[in-house]
Amino acid sequence: MLDAGPLWITEFMAANKGVLADDDNAYSDWIEIHNPTEAPVSLDGWYLTDDSDELTKWQFPAVSIDAGGYLTVFASDKDRTDPAATLHTNFKLTSDGEYLALVRPDGVTISHDYDTFPPLADNVSFGLPGRPDDLTYHVPTSADAGLGLGWTAGGYDDSAWSGASSSSVHITEIGTGTPDYIEIQNLAGTAVDTSGWTLAMKRSYSTPINDPGIVEVALPSVMYPGQILFRNNLANNWRFDLAHRDTQLDLATSWYAVMSGWALVLDDQGVVVDLVAWGYTEAELAMLDVTINGFQVTADTAWLGAPVPSSTSGTPILSRVGTSDHDDAGDFVWEAPSYAWWSSSSVTTGSIGAPNPDLAGAFATTDTSLGFTPYSVGRDTRIQTDLSVAMQDVNSSIWMRREF
């Protein structure tokens, strides 16, 4: 059983007036915690707090959450910690909005927080949205006029509707010094089938944006929840966290921060899952037209606006930032390395990137550290479906359904 997360506060209610009764048959505020991993997680010694200046306000007893499971704690101010009974915190939530956090046993590291949540009406919960995989949409036509609001019913058959496309797999960091490296992360709490997916990279010293100088490697058949693929151009294998190690792959590319380059992840249907480009003009990026794994690939729908500018100072790390993916230059910044010297030996001593508290196991502490925190709110809930073609000359509105 893991003793570290990541865990999420997925939902809470700060003005419960009749939605969920506690073990005293009273309607107390409540907090729902989710374990998105594939293994049980112990909450023994973790904390909940509504005060950013008092992170250890209420401590969990020896309870655990099953893989993919949920735990409800009542924020009732009754302070009950019997692990065999319903749990109650020593504070209540404020419906006017306040701070709320889940804190790791060290009393310092915040696993997930809301800083601050907005004012909430009676019997209205707040939290994380569901996964976009569950969303379907339909552009209504005159043939649907008789439906009224029937399509909003829970049992409505929407199997013929279209589904929204999304991906939780992102390029999170590129190193352009010595060695060159790339990180790819699955930022979701569920595994992603990456069979037939391809990583393609453009070498900086080959200046045209298209061929030659493109390196292609296959991704492993699955990326596990929170899993990070790290690869440099000195070793001949992917490296994994969470004890998942399988495919031996080559990465023989060279990048330069002061020049130009790009990298992309392509799925088995030829869809660009993620793209980052730097040093090109917007017009040059619009000319991207290459064949990757048998698919014709362009940047038309994968990137918006100009690429990331080259680093004027030679700062070697291109890092993803923020909690949402906008497919534009605002998603990345150039950063200096957080270690004293960049050498081939540093790859094996764990000095690349910053420590990542949201990863379990030795990969985050004694192996190569990672530079991006997974499970950021909003990352795996983005919807990337372009509906302009479906809606053109049909309707100015769409219907969308998502299971709650």
- Could you give all domains of the chain from N- to C-terminal order, each with its CATH number? 1-128 (2.60.40), 132-164+383-402 (no CATH), 169-381 (no CATH)
| Mean pLDDT score, 132-146 | 71
CB atoms within 10 A of CB 42: 16
Give the span between the Cα atoms of 21 and 17, in whole angstroms: 9
CB 353 within 8 A of CB 369: yes
Is residue 153 over pLDDT 90?
A: no
Is residue 165 over pLDDT 70?
A: no
pLDDT, tens only, 11-52: 899 999 998 999 999 999 999 998 877 778 899 999 999 999
Contacting residues for 4 by C-beta, under 8 A, at least 6 apart? 41, 104, 357, 360
pLDDT, tens only, 82-130: 999 999 999 999 999 999 999 999 898 888 888 888 898 898 888 775 4
Give the span between the Cα atoms of 75 and 93, in whole angstroms: 6
Tokens (6 digits) for 151: 């399509």
Terminal CA-CA length for the chain? 29
Could you please report the per-residue DSSP string of 207-246?
A: -SSSSSSEEEEEPPSEE-TT-EEEEESSSSS-EESTT---
pLDDT computed for residue 135 by the predictor: 62
pLDDT, tens only, 227-281: 777 776 654 444 433 223 333 334 445 566 668 889 999 988 888 889 999 888 8
312 burial (CB, 10 Å; 0-12 / 13-18 / 19+) is exposed
Q: What is the DSSP-derived secondary structure letter of residue 20?
A: -
Q: CA 382, 354, 261 angle in degrees (round to 5)?
A: 65
HSE (side-chain half, CA atoms, 13 Å) at 14: 18
3-state secondary structure at position 275:
strand
Tokens (6 digits) for 360: 């379990």
pLDDT, tens only, 279-331: 888 999 999 999 999 999 988 778 878 888 888 776 678 887 665 567 788 77
pLDDT computed for residue 17 by the predictor: 92
